[in-house]
Amino acid sequence: MAEKRIAIVRFSALGDVALLWPVLCQVAQSYPDYKITFFTRPAFLEHLPDHPGIEKVGLDVDDAYASPVSLFLFWWGWLRSTYPEAWVDAHAHLRSMSGTWLAARFGARVGKLEKHRALRKAFLAKNVQKLPLVQESYANAFAQAGFPIEWPIALPNASRPLSSTLLLAPFAAHESKRIPLETAYALAAWWQGLGGTVVLMGHFSEIDGWNGPNVLFARPDQEASLWAEAAVAVVMDSANQHLAALHGTPSVTVWMGTAPEAGFVPVHPGEQEHVQSSGLSCSPCSIYGTSKCSRGDFACHQIPLAQIQKAIAKVARTDLPLHAL
């Protein structure tokens, strides 16, 4: 008898993949008789916790399957050998669309991510105050494919020991989502002055530009344990926001050119605070972030250090003397 299976595709970016993962886990819990196969980039697999009901498949769409023809042939072979009951396109990109087209012809029920492009334009024009949560859009795609789930869900608070470690992730792909390094330096010095340890999270190319206080640098093989043990993480609207949520790490997310109302806030099993720029008619200026500023000065970066410190004091699991803030 053929194995009952649901296929899901999402190739980028890491933050979006991490945002999707809790929804996949809820599908696996809701439909334990089904095997879930999740296709994404190989580099992302190490960031996703293992789950007994989810098969993670790294598909190299940057090299081995970069050609649309080779990717189409892979989808053809995989679908012919598995015949999934459902196919969820959680990317809605050319790389996933060929598989979606084929899956429908192999008889799979298809669900597609709704990107709400018109609503997003209205949001940036300040005609809409809030956008649908992206995780809810993922859940709706599963419902479209015949597998509705309860969402949002109330995750149990993650139990964590006290810690003196601050994870600091000031980097992001776009300048509108990065705090100035001077602010990051000041945060690191403040936490160290309280007696704590600071670990810098980022790619090697980003870490090379750090000229602030002496801090520890996270290696890729250390990241999972660091997320699990840290007192708090200060993150941007980037992948690290969603990785903190995956691990239940208390977190402070700093929003500048983007905003939590755009729908990218994850369901979080721990404590989370949001700090954002205020008083700027131009903010938010983008859904995903941008490296250009219409004013030319990135005024949204000027978030007071004390505002971030107070947010840290609200959520950090530590016995460091934060009570004075």
CA–CA separation, 82 vs 85, rounded Å? 9
86 & 196 share domain: no
The residue type found at 290 is T
The length of the chain is 325
pLDDT single digits (tens) 93-102: 988 999 999 9
139 & 12 share domain: yes
Amino acid 270: pLDDT: 86
Decide if 150 is inside a domain. no
Decide if 112 is inside a domain. yes
171: tokens are 């980097």
Decide if 100 is inside a domain. yes
Q: How many domains does the chain have?
A: 2
Largest CA distance in the chain: 64
289 & 219 share domain: yes
CA–CA separation, 315 vs 312, rounded Å? 6
Decide if 160 is inside a domain. no
90 & 194 share domain: no
The residue type found at 30 is S
308 & 279 share domain: yes
Domain endpoint, select from 93, 115, 144: 144
pLDDT single digits (tens) 167-223: 999 999 999 999 999 999 999 999 999 999 999 999 888 999 999 999 999 988 899
Decide if 156 is inside a domain. no
113 & 245 share domain: no
103 & 223 share domain: no
pLDDT single digits (tens) 258-302: 999 999 999 998 899 999 988 899 999 999 999 999 999 999 999
pLDDT single digits (tens) 11-60: 999 999 999 999 999 999 999 999 999 999 999 999 999 999 999 999 99
CA proximity to 39, closest of 100, 81, 80: 100
Please give the model's pTM, rounded to 2 decimal places. 0.94
191 & 129 share domain: no
Task: Specify the 3-state DSSP secondary structure of 322.
Answer: coil
129: CATH: 3.40.50.2000
CA–CA separation, 264 vs 244, rounded Å? 13
297 & 200 share domain: yes
Return the percentage of the chain with pLDDT > 90, whole number.
Answer: 91
The whole domain housing 305 covers: 165-315
Decide if 230 is inside a domain. yes
228 & 174 share domain: yes
Is residue 86 within 8 A of residue 145, CB to CB? The reply is: yes
Decide if 153 is inside a domain. no
307 & 185 share domain: yes
Residue 1 has pLDDT above 60, yes or no: no
Decide if 293 is inside a domain. yes
φ, ψ of residue 35 to 5 degrees: the values are -90, 130
133 & 12 share domain: yes
Provide the 10 A C-beta neighbour count for residue 57.
13
